[in-house]
Amino acid sequence: MAAAASTPAPPRRVIVCGGGVIGACTAYFLSTHGTTPTVPTVLEKCAPACAASGKAGGFLAADWRGYLPASWCGSTPSLSALMRVSFALHRRLASTLDGAAAYGFRPIHALSVSLPSGDDDPMVQNWVDPTASGAEVLGAPDATAQVHPGLFTKAVLAASGAGVVIGEVERVVVREDGRVAGVAVKGRAGVMEADAVVLALGPWSARLDMIRELFVVYGQKAHSVVLRPPEPDTITPHALFLRYQPEPGGRVFKPEVYPRPNGEVYMCGMSKDEEVPDDPAAIVGEAESIAMLRKIAGKLSGKLRTEEGAEVVAEQACYLPCTTDGLPVIGEMPGVKGCYVATGHDCWGILNAPATGAAIAELILDGRAETVDLAPFSPERFLKKK
């Protein structure tokens, strides 16, 4: 009897703030937990997947360290471990949720391609011919894959059964004993009560005093275009990491290109550090950046030129959530029992969302994470730096 009394009951009322991919995966793993499945409420300011989680590339890699410079994402052993676990979880989710049909999950090749400068003819006439184009292979389908990020986010959120409340969390309400009491929502009286609160607000995380006082999360704006070529069947499943230097000695552009199984070709790049606007729905791309992406698309392949029949599906921008040490922040907020944070996933949030969500769900419901070692990602690391 005494042992049972000393084990606290797992929280029953959980609020997940933020309906991006991190919030959605947290909701999914809470509600599918093996012993104490707990369906949370998701509190989202705008709409699920309205920001980066709906406008990202959706590229997934089991381990990227061997291919790219160490400064790139996945450059620490802890991040590599997170990526490997999350890649495996993506595969598992795709088979549970019929990911191929529901959100375009598919294994894919990844190539690095240098585009020639000058105004030559489009380089890739028949989409990708690795031997003809001199492309370098970065990844094969056993270790690289893709999803449509917006459809993935919405599919896991729907599968979680979580109710979505549209509202803006203003602050976390904490009891005198240091335990979370719930959240205050802008424009609403009273407190939305909870036994546990997860803050998954992407680049908006630092708008909350509690987070801003502990660590920095800043936004990096990136642009993307989605094109529909006239003969989508001729576009093979090759993700392309481009390098393009229009003038010798000038700026080098490194856009990424992801053909999708629905016949669309997504392309992103043109990023810069910039203050994140309050309203996710108000984010628009800059004309110059969009024009450069369109120019590079046309240079890559005639099939991506509007003059040759390509349709423009979207021209957009969104913000990567970045931290000062390049690692995501995943764990319980120091000094506030029952309040958890999951943010700062930079350019790998779609990949790392399942492992993040699974680990946070375990932390909440079991008291410790089994899926991945969260120690390197704990928000406590910033206490030590103060």
Ligand X SMILES: Cc1cc2nc3c(=O)[nH]c(=O)nc-3n(C[C@H](O)[C@H](O)[C@H](O)COP(=O)(O)OP(=O)(O)OC[C@H]3O[C@@H](n4cnc5c(N)ncnc54)[C@H](O)[C@@H]3O)c2cc1C
Q: Using CB under 6 A as the criterion, which residues of the chain lie in contact with ligand X when the complex forms? A: 17-23, 43-46, 50-53, 56-59, 168-169, 200-204, 222, 224, 268, 280, 318, 320-321, 343, 345-351
Partners of 110 in the β-ladder: 139, 239
Cβ 125 to ligand X shortest distance, Å: 26
Residues 6+ apart with CB under 8 A from 112: 135, 136, 137, 138, 240, 241, 242, 243
- Which residue number, 146 or 302, has a Cβ lying nearer to ligand X? 146
DSSP states of 12-53: S-EEEE--SHHHHHHHHHHHT-SSS----EEEESS-TT-SHH
Number of CB atoms found within 10 A of residue 26's CB: 33
Sign of CA dihedral 329, 331, 333, 338: positive
Residues 6+ apart with CB under 8 A from 343: 22, 199, 200, 201, 202, 205, 211, 217, 321, 323, 328, 329
Cβ 189 to ligand X shortest distance, Å: 17
Q: Which of 172, 215, 192, 177 is nearest to 329 (CA)?
A: 215
- Which residue number, 44 or 362, has a Cβ lying nearer to ligand X? 44
- Which residue number, 127 or 319, has a Cβ lying nearer to ligand X? 319
Cβ 287 to ligand X shortest distance, Å: 17
Cβ 170 to ligand X shortest distance, Å: 7
Residue sitting closest to ligand X (CB): 349
Cβ 85 to ligand X shortest distance, Å: 14
Cβ 43 to ligand X shortest distance, Å: 5
Q: Which of 224, 200, 229 is nearest to 293 (CA)?
A: 224
- Which residue number, 124 or 318, has a Cβ lying nearer to ligand X? 318
- Which residue number, 200 or 363, has a Cβ lying nearer to ligand X? 200
